Chains A and B, each alone.
Chain A
Amino acid sequence: MSVPQDDGRIPELEALRAPPRSDADRHRMREGILTGAELLLARRRRTDSSWEVLAAWARPGLLAASIALAILAGAIQPWRGRPEEVSQPVALEDVLGGAGEPDGIPAMLVALNEPDADAVMAAALVERNGNGGDLPSPVEQR
């Protein structure tokens, strides 16, 4: 249900209007507000200036930090050297890769990493058994 619009003011309400105030009253209120606000305003100024100081420091600070990091990284690099290579055991097939071929070079000889003991032993056995047993057995050597 819509409320009928009432455009008539109530003249008696004028009695509730604020009485006129003197300039002195207005000034007093204004000064009271500003005095009461002083602490908060000062705190806001401090906070703001703190941010300004931080902002002022931020750019050169970041630059200096970047340079320092770069120098530090450069200094550390020679000490660290190349990343340590983890030697992987050489597979038997690789070791024997060149052994069966007449001109083949045993992979063991050209491998970058030292072969593991099992591969060496296996190669030796293959050499002995497969190629006429030229290699002496450990027992015979003794």
Chain B
Amino acid sequence: MARPMAAKGQGESQVHDEPQLVDRVRRGDREAFAILVERYGDQAFAVAYGFLQHAQDSEDLVQDAFIRALERVDSLGEGSAFGPWFYRLLVNAALNRRKYLARRRTEDVPVSSAASESPAADAERAELRRRLARALGSLPGELETVVILHDLEGFTHPEIAGMLDIPEGTCRSHLSKARRLLRDVLQDYQHRS
């Protein structure tokens, strides 16, 4: 079993109080639930965004995931950390949500990061993002999840293995495979452009 994970910027000591927080949430303690939302909300949004590439969809997904977590919190084992369990729930929800989206929407590149480029460069970047997002989405679910969690969100292999309940070696091989597939897509794109 992987060590309990902390959301980015959270210390281990804060993770150790999670069984107590979860217990309080089971009893309907709003403050304890708010602490978990505060602790995992931003990271959850980033993970959701990695899958959905849309801010509003990602917010909705995070909200649904927290509500679902609250509904199912009794199924979380006594003394278990909230993080891995919650992220597993979030990732499954993200994969399911995407099935219902007829077409992947990509947001416009934020103005702050695009201001220095020409409109042509902006368009090119947007096109690259669309292709990347499409390529990511075309990967088998677990490969995509591993590459998003590892390369985009910076989770470690043991953490991802704990979240997805897979061996660490499988996690590493998924990442290698996913990267190779993505590189192929990118090379193809660069050749064309």
Contacts and interface: CB of A to CB of B under 8 A. Distances in A.
Interface of A: 2-6, 8-10, 12-21, 25-26, 29-30, 32-34, 36-38, 40-48
If over half of A's interface residues share one DSSP class (helix, strand or loop), that class is named, otherwise mixed; here it is: helix
17 contacts: A2-B173, A5-B172, A10-B179, A13-B151, A13-B182, A15-B132, A17-B152, A18-B50, A19-B55, A20-B112, A29-B59, A30-B38, A34-B37, A42-B28, A44-B25, A44-B26, A48-B28
B28 A12 contact: no
Interface in B76-132: 107, 110, 112-113, 125, 128-129, 132
A12 B132 contact: yes
B132 A8 contact: no
Contacts of B113: 19
Interface stretch (B2-10, B14-22, B40-48): B40-48
Contacts of A9: 151, 179
Contacts of A12: 128, 132, 186
Nearest to B71: A40
B191 interface: no
A29 to B, nearest CB: 5
Given A12-B128, A48-B26, 9 more contacts: A2-B173, A15-B128, A16-B50, A17-B152, A20-B112, A21-B42, A34-B33, A36-B63, A44-B28
Interface in B137-173: 147, 151-152, 172-173
Contacts of A33: 37, 41, 62-63, 66-67
A32 B125 CA distance: 32
A16 B46 contact: no
B110 A19 contact: yes
Nearest to B177: A3
A37 B70 contact: yes
A10 B178 CA distance: 10
Contacts of B179: 6, 8-10
Contacts of A47: 28
Q: Which of A3, A36, A38 has the largest number of chain B CB atoms within 10 A? A: A3
A19 B125 CA distance: 14
B13 to A, nearest CB: 22
A10 B183 contact: yes
A34 B50 CA distance: 23
Nearest to A18: B49
Nearest to B47: A18
Contacts of B58: 18
Nearest to A45: B28
Contacts of B46: 17-18
A47 B73 CA distance: 14
Contacts of B41: 26, 29-30, 33
